[in-house]
Amino acid sequence: MTQLALVIDLNVCVGCHACVTSCKQWNTSGQAGPLFDDNPFTKDPTGTFFNRVQTYEIGEFPNTETLHFPKSCLHCEDAPCVPVCPTGASHKRSEDGIVLVDYDKCIGCKYCSWACPYGMREFDEHQKVMKKCTLCVDRIYDESLPERDRKPACVLACPTSARLFGDVHDPDSEVSVAIRESGGYQLMPEWGTKPANHYLPRRKTKMRIHEDELVRVDNPLKKEDIRHETSKNVSLDDWLM
């Protein structure tokens, strides 16, 4: 069984909000109708978003570290927001594990948002139905797009590639490998919701350069790599560089 999900690398997220704006742009322009905003350009702007980036400070000044934390529906494998819905509007697709709200069935009772411990659902105050991340379900299967674009908008927008997308049930997928090898973890594991989305923790980013790496054949900086002949004649390169 397929379970599509995002893996978010907190080590490289720089908190630029590109995923937030690209998500909003894609999802407010889709068939399902706009994601409304109130006072977008004045005081107290508010609106419906599928994805938010929050910022946390860890440690005590001056030894602190800033953590940017993108937050969207985790497409839980045991999604507690699904069984509570009285109308069946909130559902989990069996074919790919995406949790969706059918906006035409939702009565706006907000019960599912109470049943999500993460606060990932946002009520649309204008359309009066519950909304949440769809993993860009209207995009990832769209065959009119080139194959490399068939990914959620946030994944494509991320300038640091902090967001990976794939099937977490396929042990060889990029996301599964990342979870396995980089200590991927789930949010609030204590509730047994089994979120499909995983986060990769921050880690010490260090680079140690070994001697042999400096003289390695493929090292373009090695001194043996003399591209131009050491000629005394002045070449065009000498003028340009």
Partner 1 sequence: MHPTFAVIFLTTLIGVGQGLFLALFTEQSYSAAKLLPTQESSFYVTGSFIALAFLIGGLIAAIGHLGKPIYMITRAWRGVTQWRTSWLSRELILMPVVMFLVFLYGLVHLLGLDADLFGSSELNGQLTLIIGTVSTAAVFALFIATAMIYASIKFLQEWACALTVANYLLLGSASGFTLASAYAAFTAPELVTFYAGWAMIITFAGFITRSGSLIRNARIKYKSTLQTAIGVRHTKVQQKAMGMMGGSFNTREFFHGKTAAFLKSIKWIFLVLVFPIPLLLLWAGMDGSKALLVLAFATQYVGLLFERWFFFAQANHPQNLYYQTV
Binding site for partner 1 (CB under 8 A): 20, 39, 43-49, 52-60, 66-67, 69, 71, 80, 82-89, 105-111, 113-119, 121-123, 125, 127-129, 185-191, 199, 201
* Region binding ligand SF4 by CB under 6 A among candidate stretches 39-47, 111-119, 198-206, 209-217: 111-119
Distance between start and end Cα atoms, the chain? 56
> Choosing among partner 1, ligand SF4, none, which partner's interface includes residue 151 (Cβ < 5 to 8 Å by kind)?
none
Q: Do 181 and 201 contact (CB within 8 A), yes or no?
A: no
Q: Do 72 and 84 contact (CB within 8 A), yes or no?
A: no
* Binding residues for ligand SF4 restricted to 23-82, rule: CB under 6 A: 73-76, 79-81
**Closer CB to ligand SF4, 105 or 203, in the complex:** 105
**Closer CB to partner 1, 34 or 47, in the complex:** 47
Look at strands 198-200 and 4-9 and give their pairing. Answer: parallel
- Report the distance separating Cα 52 and Cα 19, nearest Å: 8
- Among candidates 226, 223, 225, which has minimal Cα distance to 211? 223
Q: How far, in whole angstroms, is CA 98 from its chain's centroid?
A: 15
User: Which residues contact ligand SF4 by CB under 6 A?
Assistant: 73-76, 79-81, 85, 87, 89-90, 99, 101, 106-112, 116, 118, 120-121, 130, 132, 193
